[in-house]
Amino acid sequence: MPQPIYQRILLKLSGEALMGQQGLGIDPQVVLEVALSLKEVKELGVEIGVVIGGGNIFRGLSASARGMDRVSADYMGMLATVINALALEDYLERNHVPTRVLTAIKMEQLAEPFIRRRAIRHLEKGRIVIFGGGTGNPYFTTDTAAALRAIEIKADAVIKGTKVDGVYDSDPTKNPDAKMFTELTYLDVVRKRLKVMDSTAVTLCMENNLPILVFNLRKKGNLKKLILGEPIGTKVCEAQND
């Protein structure tokens, strides 16, 4: 049997990934598909952390652009990530996958507060850990939260699930001739302003030599194939031969 090349991962999902074809909210079928993909990978013996955005419910930056106070808007966005985390937890537990939600903002009735050692202990016990509430601070994106949590739990890679096959030189949904990269360096991403993760997240990964893998989450079985080492999506790392 093929063996996973990563033993502990941090999966970053956008909130938009959970809304499917809907314009807003959570599509139960999509959440179920994500949960089953995670279960498939967990059965390989891989320890999994997850960070989910909240853009399907509320996006702080766009609300700020429309006149709302940025700090208040960002806190509202953090609460949206917790809603998504609870939804994913519910579908994982329904499919007999032990899961814990840890939040950067204390809300004990809903989830455990984030404590690094506790998170690692949950992972070691075979539980999927979903990190809600971003970093707990305004002005930081969930991309940055994903990079930070990955470093804190000593993950082998940050894996970003998207709706396209990898990182392109232009938007593939608008440009049919867009070129997909199979490998990039962190500096390539920053210099070319490629939409992988925000610059703070990429810098954090670069300083800690943490690979970023970008793949199409919507294709069934893709996450498992990626974990088993199949050449899927785009890898961002220190050097092209890393």
In a domain, 1, yes or no: no
Summarize pLDDT for 54-91 with one digit per residue, the tens. 988 887 777 777 788 999 999 999 999 999 999 999 99
Longest Cα pair distance anywhere in the chain, in angstroms?
55
In a domain, 41, yes or no: yes
Q: Is 21 exposed, middle or buried (0-12, 13-18, 19+ CB in 10 A)?
A: exposed
In a domain, 78, yes or no: yes
In a domain, 71, yes or no: yes
- Whether the pLDDT of residue 42 is over 50: the answer is yes
- pLDDT the model gives residue 91: 97
Summarize pLDDT for 192-240 with one digit per residue, the tens. 889 889 999 999 999 999 999 999 998 999 999 999 999 999 999 987 5
Q: Give me the count of residues in the chain.
A: 242
- Whether the pLDDT of residue 5 is over 70: the answer is yes
Summarize pLDDT for 156-177 with one digit per residue, the tens. 999 999 888 999 988 888 888 8
CATH of the domain at 197: 3.40.1160.10
Q: How does residue 242 score in pLDDT terms, banded at 50, 70 and 90?
A: very low
Task: List all residues 6 or more positions away from 31 whose beta carbon is below 8 Å from its beta carbon.
Answer: 18, 87, 88, 91
- pLDDT the model gives residue 240: 52
What is the DSSP track for 147-216?
A: HHHHHHTT-SEEEEEESSSSEESS-TTT-TTPPEESEEEHHHHHHHT-SSS-HHHHHHHHHTT--EEEEE
Closest by CA position to 190, among listed 174, 179, 177, 201: 201
The mean pLDDT of the chain is 92
- pLDDT the model gives residue 212: 97
Structure token pair of residue 157: 């890679």
Number of domains observed in the structure of the chain: 1
CA distances for 83 relative to 30, 46, 48, 88, 169, angstroms: 15, 25, 19, 9, 33
In a domain, 113, yes or no: yes
In a domain, 2, yes or no: no
Q: What is the pTM of this model?
A: 0.93
Please tell me the distance from the alpha carbon of residue 72 to that of residue 32, in angstroms, as a whole number.
31
Please tell me the distance from the alpha carbon of residue 112 to that of residue 103, in angstroms, as a whole number.
6
> DSSP secondary-structure letter at 15?
G
In a domain, 74, yes or no: yes
Residue 198, domain extent = 8-237
In a domain, 242, yes or no: no
- CA 172 to mean position of chain CA atoms: 21
